[in-house]
């Protein structure tokens, strides 16, 4: 299939490369043109505008860092609202707030366009290797038309129904559970370190027992090695996700007390200049609060 792709950060580049390697004709646009070369070298077509990406093929992906970037790409002069044809499909792959997705869905609907949400479940390296998951939610016929695109990227797609907002809610809830798990690990590591336990031992106890899954293995290893750079998921984006979760819960009367702890630990890390570190740096902030070096 022919498809446009807007937003070539680490996640977007990994997704676009999966599409190219899967045999799809991909037209790529990024605000910073230097991000295009690795993909054009692999066979993607460089594009010079949002409009060109919106009209390149059967649909256009966006993979953008935050709500502000999404709304800018959708609503600016020459953006998706003006550029997509009637019945055109916007596949929104970023992690965005429930409120933003509700807004973008209405904007596209009023313009006679279709929104599909496809947030990714996994770090960029997992997306690149084809082992990440993908949520898919949107109008049934549009999802069916785009199925070959979705099959090229993840290990598995999780059908989330006809409302794109549902995929946003699931992604936010998933990140909430993961973020709280990492934060709790940081507390556990700080506790045992206060009793002079070597962190590797606690890591082995966790990951060879009740917590023998990738979340604890991957992030526990980062904490043990204090290897917070380069980041898979940056702390500043983790903070965005924590705020999304708290806002989503507040909007429908769901208290998320653990979310407040998760958010505050990320605020502490960012305040110490660690915004670009992996969000597992929450463990470092916990260690500081515990009087540990």
The pLDDT tens digits of the residues spanning 245-272 come to: 999 999 999 999 999 999 999 999 999 9
If DSSP states are collapsed to H, E and C, what string results for the chain? CEEEEECCCHHHHHHHHHHHHCCCEEEEECCCHHHCHHHHHHCCEECCCHHHHHCCCCCEEECCCCHHHHHHHHHCCCCHHHHCCCCCEEEECCCCCHHHHHHHHHHHHHCCCEEEECCEECCHHHHHHCCCEEEEECCHHHHHHCHHHHHHCCCEEEECCCCHHHHHHHHHHHHHHHHHHHHHHHHHHHHHHHCCCCHHHHHHHHHCCCCCCHHHHHHHHHHHHCCCCCCCCEHHHHHHHHHHHHHHHHHHCCCCHHHHHHHHHHHHHHHCCCCCCEHHHHHHHHHHHCCCC
Looking at residue 46, its pLDDT comes to 97
Using 50, 70 and 90 to split pLDDT, how confident is the model at 141?
Answer: very high
Q: Per this entry, what is the length of the chain?
A: 293
Structure tokens, 50: 């949002």
Average confidence (pLDDT) over 265-281: 98
* Average of per-residue pLDDT values in the chain: 97
- Tokens (6 digits) for 88: 């055109």
Q: Is the pTM of this model over 0.85?
A: yes
pLDDT at 17 exceeding the cut of 90: yes
Q: Is the pLDDT of residue 242 over 90?
A: yes
pLDDT score, position 293: 83
Q: How confident is the model at residue 290 (pLDDT cuts 50, 70, 90)?
A: very high
Of 251, 191, 84, residue with least CA distance to 243: 251
Query: d(Cα 90, Cα 22) in Å, to the nearest integer?
Result: 20
| Mean pLDDT, residues 55-68 taken together | 96
pLDDT of residue 68: 96
- The closest alpha carbon to 6, from 122, 44, 42, belongs to 44
Task: Kindly give, in sequence order, each residue whose CB lies less than 8 Å from that of residue 195, ignoring residues fewer than 6 positions away.
Answer: none
CA distance 4 to 70: 15
Output the pLDDT for position 232: 87
- What pLDDT is attached to residue 124? 92
pLDDT in tens, 169-222: 999 999 999 999 999 999 999 999 999 999 999 999 999 999 999 999 999 999
Tell me the chain's radius of gyration from C-alpha atoms: 20
Nearest-5° Cα angle at 167, 165 to 169:
70
Contact residues for 42 (Cβ-Cβ < 8 A; gap 6+): 17, 20, 21
Share of residues in the chain with pLDDT > 70 (%): 100
> Would the pLDDT of 113 be above 90?
yes
Domains of the chain: 2-162 (3.40.50.720), 169-289 (1.10.1040.10)
Under 8 Å CB-to-CB from 64, ≥6 apart: which residues? 6, 7, 12, 70, 73, 94
Task: Assign 48 a pLDDT band (cuts: 50, 70, 90).
Answer: very high
Give CA separation, 221 vs 177, 198, 201, 255, in Å: 18, 13, 11, 31
Q: What is the pLDDT of residue 3?
A: 98
């Amino acid at each position: 299939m022919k498809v446009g792709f807007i937003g070539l950060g680490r996640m977007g580049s990994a997704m676009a490369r999966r599409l190219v390697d899967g045999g799809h004709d991909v037209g790529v646009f990024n605000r910073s043109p230097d991000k295009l070369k690795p993909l054009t070298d692999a066979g993607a077509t460089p594009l010079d505008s949002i409009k060109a990406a919106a009209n390149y093929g059967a649909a256009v992906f966006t993979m953008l860092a935050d709500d502000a970037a999404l709304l800018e790409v959708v609503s600016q002069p020459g953006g998706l609202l003006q550029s997509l044809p009637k019945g055109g499909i916007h596949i929104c792959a970023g992690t965005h707030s429930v409120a933003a997705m509700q807004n973008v869905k209405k904007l596209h609907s009023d313009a006679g366009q279709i929104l599909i949400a496809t947030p990714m479940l996994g770090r960029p390296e997992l997306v690149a290797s084809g082992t990440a998951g993908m949520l898919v939610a949107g109008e049934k016929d549009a999802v069916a038309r785009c199925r070959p695109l979705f099959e090229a990227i993840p290990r598995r797609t999780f059908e989330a129904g006809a409302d794109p907002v549902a995929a946003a809610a699931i992604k936010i809830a998933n990140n909430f559970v993961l973020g709280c798990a990492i934060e709790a690990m940081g507390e556990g590591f700080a506790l045992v370190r206060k009793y002079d336990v070597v962190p590797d031992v606690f890591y082995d106890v966790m990951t060879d027992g009740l917590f023998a899954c990738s979340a604890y293995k991957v992030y526990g290893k980062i904490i043990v090695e204090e290897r917070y750079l380069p980041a898979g998921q940056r702390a500043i984006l983790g903070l965005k996700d924590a705020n999304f979760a708290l806002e989503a819960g507040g909007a429908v009367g769901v208290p998320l007390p653990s979310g407040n702890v998760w958010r505050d630990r990320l605020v502490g890390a960012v305040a110490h200049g660690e915004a670009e570190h992996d969000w597992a740096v929450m463990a470092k902030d916990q260690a500081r609060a515990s009087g540990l070096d």
